[in-house]
Amino acid sequence: MEAARLHALIDGLTLHSIADPRTDDDAMVRAVLELYLSELQRPPASN
């Protein structure tokens, strides 16, 4: 679930920067980084 959220936020951030590259949405960047870091801290899924 977190991986899907991470990818959705990255996609949204990419679309946002393409739509208006002069804007800097700090909250979105912060959310992406927080999710990325939480993904790195998760234990690997067991198969």
The predicted structure's pLDDT at residue 10: 75
The pLDDT, as a whole number, for residue 35 is 78
30 inside domain: yes
Residue 31 maps to a domain = yes
Residues 5-39 pLDDT 10s:
777 777 777 776 666 666 666 777 777 778 778 87
Question: Does the residue 32 lie in any domain?
Answer: yes
pTM above 0.85, yes or no: no
Give DSSP secondary structure letters for 19-47.
H-TT---HHHHHHHHHHHHHHHHSPPPP-
The boundaries of the domain holding residue 14 are: 2-41
* 46 inside domain: no
Q: Specify the pLDDT at position 8.
A: 77
Is 23 inside any structural domain?
yes
User: Residue 24 has what pLDDT?
Assistant: 62
* Domain tally, the chain: 1
Model pLDDT, residue 39: 79
Question: 47 lies in a domain?
Answer: no
